[in-house]
Chain A
Amino acid sequence: MNAIETVGLTKKFRRVQAVHDVNLQVAEGGIYALMGPNGAGKSTLIKMLMNLVRPTVGEARMLGGSSEFLRGERLEQIGYVSENQKMPDWMTVASYMQYWRPFYPSWNRALEEKLTKQFELPLKQKLKRMSRGMRMKASLVSVLAYRPKVIVLDEPLSGLDPLVRDQLMEGLLGLADGATVLFSSHDLAEIEHFANHVGYMEGGRLLISESIEHVRQRFCKVTAWSEAAITPPASIPAEWTRLKIDGQHAHWIEAAYDPELSIRRAREALGQVAVKSEPLTLREVFLTLAYQSRSVSEAGGAQ
């Protein structure tokens, strides 16, 4: 069963299409990283999931219920932390925790104290006098302490120093046992080691949404060579991007790599060539997707 799901989710702000026809599923217990550059529509998508923004078309669902009615009691099982969220700055860390306790029947006081110590949060300090990293930690503690079934984090790590970032993610993943986690980021280094599923958004569209393992298998950098000079193919296979031909060598990135099928496809397009492949890092995958997406939109624009 999916803990998070969207169907044809679209959001338009006047003439700007922030999110376009997004179909996303996050299975229960999954850790899903929503990637994409700034302005890709990640935050808008998350806000629609959290019922902070109303979709123009489509539906978002959390824990089996429509996000349109996500309020009150239903929020006892969902935690949300965002880099942009306002906080009651006049409160101290202690009063912030004390304020939220009665809202959640499942609040675990011992866990709260443990996390507060682990994150070295100064209890008597007001939130407005704390650094961004410390505020994010306080916010995260106030979410983890009630052990929500779904945790949604919108750019929780952006701009934080690597130490705080690792502390936060380790704290989160160590405690989010069995919880579904969806977090957005524009920095690949933040997520590569934590997520088991990934989605990539650009220009409001969700370009891929699958397991990291599958992405790694699917995207390959392929090199072909022959004794004679390679001539450009009459038509480039749809699975190829960034094809470069350099005399006897050709390089491209294949989006649907299959050891047998890819060799056959290369020979059909380029003649009798030898082929070798090497996996891409996620960073290279997303760069490829961004490149592909921009080429398509530029081509569309030119038309």
Chain B
Amino acid sequence: MILHILLKDLRRQWREIALYILVCAEWAWQQAHTGSWIWQHQREMLPFMLFGLWVFIVVRAVHGECLVGDREFWATRPYRWWQLLIEKALLCFLALNVPLFIAQIYLLHHARLPITATVLFGLLILQLMIAGVATFPTAAIAAVTQTLVQWILTIAGIILFAIVLTWLPWDSLAPTLTGEENAAGSLGMAIVGGAMLFMLVWQYARRGVWPARAAFAVAILAVPAMILLARVPMLRAAAYPQVTSRGIHVSIRPDPDGTRSFTRRDPAVGEPSIRIPIIAVPEDPHTVMSVEGVRLAMHGDAGWTWDSGWTSKSFWLGAGSGESSLEFNMPAAVIDQMQQSHAQATIELAYVAYRLTREQKIDTSHRYFVIPDVGQCIWGEGRGIIFNSSGLNCVAPLRLPGILVARMQVGESTCSSGKNAGIPGDRFAAAVLFGNDDTPVYFDIDPVRNLQLNFGYWLPLVPTEKNGYRQAELCRGTPFTVQTGHAEGRMQSRFELGAVGKQVTPDTGGDGGSDD
């Protein structure tokens, strides 16, 4: 019976499905040939067309046996609700996901990435994710509307609601960190997903539109509720459990000659602020911290205290991260007090801890070379990039590792003689790249992940004949090592920075501080 209804729907919707397959093929071709700037405009339009057709096909599929109203031809016929629901899911999968799946295999193949069983499994997971994001909510809203116009008006209403939400003074509430937003977002997704699942199942099983519409209202109201929930302190504790530092110790950067200030006060710029130079001392070279939030607390000798509260910051600490500075807005009165007495500073970091694997040596002597378990790189041009002189263009299937640390031994360069002359042999250029390993595959209809290992700032400078400097070059065969790693989780740690104070110097915007 499922097949019988499916064939009926395929006959009914073959025109839009054929158009979708054409657009999908065109998108795949354009995406594979992104170097061609001539098609830039069309290329940007194609994903929107794909999405528009996708939504249209889903809405028409659900409305084919409309679940709202008392005049529907099918409602008095012996349909089994679960068969109809499965049929609609199958129709969407066959008509939408299968052509996209084939296009994705073509893209991976074109990018010279091997189609392994793991990749195929990842592609299937990607299809489920796309169905969850594009098909599922579209179908759920179609299940409580009667016509395409009603569906569009409902979406317009949701957009209007989102616009109103952005107008609300969220800034007056406590700021949030990524971990809290993710935790609240996950909860919100669970509520919205649950409500939408209820809408679909209820409508197919009972066709009682009001309970389904009530569930829809719950899904909509879950969004502002989760924005508020992200500000609840308990959620921060849950998102970032307190741990002792994982292999990295953070301290104030040593300042033996006292030539650099580490505080700043500049009323002309706006609110006074304090800048604290820090350095990460790695106790375990395989640990990297990707910091998402920072909190500074001061305890003055005279009994005063000050707490910056959590502020969102983004930087990483680990072997080779070098020096960093942390800046906090601070009331002028506190800065005055700091000038009069010592204070003990404590810093708390909310971060994602990454664990690196052992280093792998990569043979870079060929134009194309493989980074095992990551992807493939090419010297010079890459997908969509004509030339990259200070880095490597790589592609990976479906996802990037949580973290990737790449090092080029620039001092042992194989560039033509003299190009990198004068660089000590132990010097290396490093590139650190954070992926996203929250999900098994990255959510993007293009399964080819571009990975630009840009060594730009990290490349040593080479003196030129004209008394200037230029960045060292990278060439085929340059010794190259890679470490990948995965996130161990979000956590927070406290570091005693020790005594600060009586060192506050005015910063007039010159070389008062040191930003790295």
Q: Which residues of A contact B (CB under 8 A)?
A: 47, 50, 52-54, 71-76, 78, 80, 82, 84-88, 90, 95, 99-100, 102-104
| CB neighbours of A78 from chain B (8 A) | 76
| CB neighbours of B1 from chain A (8 A) | 102-103
Assess whether B79 is interfacial by the CB under 8 Å rule.
Answer: yes
Residue among B1, B72, B77 with the highest chain A CB neighbour number at 10 A:
B77
| CB neighbours of B77 from chain A (8 A) | 75, 100, 103
Whether the Cβ atoms of B71 and A75 lie closer than 8 Å is no
Per a CB cutoff under 8 Å, which of A74, A82, A95 touches B71? A82
Report the minimal beta-carbon distance from B202 to chain A, rounded to whole angstroms: 13
Report the minimal beta-carbon distance from B429 to chain A, rounded to whole angstroms: 64
Whether the Cβ atoms of B208 and A54 lie closer than 8 Å is yes
A87, B66: Cα distance in complex, Å: 11
Residue among A90, A95, A99, A104 with the highest chain B CB neighbour number at 10 A:
A99
Residue of chain B at shortest CB distance from A139: B73
Report the minimal beta-carbon distance from A133 to chain B, rounded to whole angstroms: 18
| CB neighbours of B8 from chain A (8 A) | 99
Residue of chain B at shortest CB distance from A70: B76
Whether the Cβ atoms of A50 and B79 lie closer than 8 Å is no
Residue of chain B at shortest CB distance from A47: B70
Whether the Cβ atoms of A72 and B70 lie closer than 8 Å is no
**What 0/1 readout, one digit per residue, does chain B (1-21) give for beta carbons within 8 Å of chain A?**
100100010011000000000
The 10 A-B pairs at the shortest CB distance, nearest first, are namely A52-B70, A80-B76, A75-B78, A76-B78, A86-B71, A72-B80, A87-B73, A47-B70, A103-B78, A84-B71
Task: Count residues of chain B with CB under 8 A from any CB of chain A.
Answer: 18
Report the minimal beta-carbon distance from B66 to chain A, rounded to whole angstroms: 8
Assess whether B443 is interfacial by the CB under 8 Å rule.
Answer: no
A88, B9: Cα distance in complex, Å: 11
Report the minimal beta-carbon distance from B176 to chain A, rounded to whole angstroms: 43
Q: Which residues of B contact A (CB under 8 A)?
A: 1, 4, 8, 11-12, 66, 70-73, 75-81, 208
Report the minimal beta-carbon distance from A148 to chain B, rounded to whole angstroms: 10
Whether the Cβ atoms of A50 and B80 lie closer than 8 Å is no
| CB neighbours of A102 from chain B (8 A) | 1, 4
Whether the Cβ atoms of A88 and B78 lie closer than 8 Å is no
Residue among A53, A72, A76, A87 with the highest chain B CB neighbour number at 10 A:
A72
Residue of chain B at shortest CB distance from A88: B73
Residue of chain B at shortest CB distance from A82: B71
- 18 sampled A-B residue pairs with Cβ under 8 A: A47-B70, A50-B75, A52-B71, A52-B76, A71-B79, A72-B78, A73-B78, A75-B76, A75-B78, A85-B71, A85-B73, A86-B72, A87-B73, A90-B12, A99-B4, A102-B4, A103-B79, A104-B78
Main secondary structure of the interface of B (DSSP, over half): loop
A86, B69: Cα distance in complex, Å: 10
| CB neighbours of A72 from chain B (8 A) | 78-81
A80, B208: Cα distance in complex, Å: 20
A5, B298: Cα distance in complex, Å: 80
Residue of chain B at shortest CB distance from A69: B206
Report the minimal beta-carbon distance from A171 to chain B, rounded to whole angstroms: 20
Known pairs A54-B208, A73-B78. 10 more at Cβ < 8 A?
A50-B75, A50-B76, A52-B70, A52-B75, A52-B76, A53-B70, A72-B78, A85-B76, A99-B4, A99-B8
A18, B66: Cα distance in complex, Å: 24
A47, B75: Cα distance in complex, Å: 11
Residue among A52, A71, A86, A99 with the highest chain B CB neighbour number at 10 A:
A71
| CB neighbours of B71 from chain A (8 A) | 52, 82, 84-86
| CB neighbours of B72 from chain A (8 A) | 85-86
A72, B76: Cα distance in complex, Å: 9
Residue of chain B at shortest CB distance from A142: B77
A39, B12: Cα distance in complex, Å: 35
Residue of chain B at shortest CB distance from A73: B78
Report the minimal beta-carbon distance from A47 to chain B, rounded to whole angstroms: 5
Residue of chain A at shortest CB distance from B208: A54
A272, B81: Cα distance in complex, Å: 70
Report the minimal beta-carbon distance from B14 to chain A, rounded to whole angstroms: 11
| CB neighbours of A74 from chain B (8 A) | 78
A6, B76: Cα distance in complex, Å: 18
Report the minimal beta-carbon distance from A211 to chain B, rounded to whole angstroms: 28
A104, B76: Cα distance in complex, Å: 13
| CB neighbours of A103 from chain B (8 A) | 1, 77-79
A172, B442: Cα distance in complex, Å: 61
A104, B77: Cα distance in complex, Å: 9
Report the minimal beta-carbon distance from A76 to chain B, rounded to whole angstroms: 5
A84, B72: Cα distance in complex, Å: 9
| CB neighbours of A90 from chain B (8 A) | 12
| CB neighbours of A75 from chain B (8 A) | 76-78
| CB neighbours of B78 from chain A (8 A) | 72-76, 103-104
A87, B12: Cα distance in complex, Å: 13
Residue of chain B at shortest CB distance from A127: B73
A85, B70: Cα distance in complex, Å: 8
Residue of chain A at shortest CB distance from B64: A88
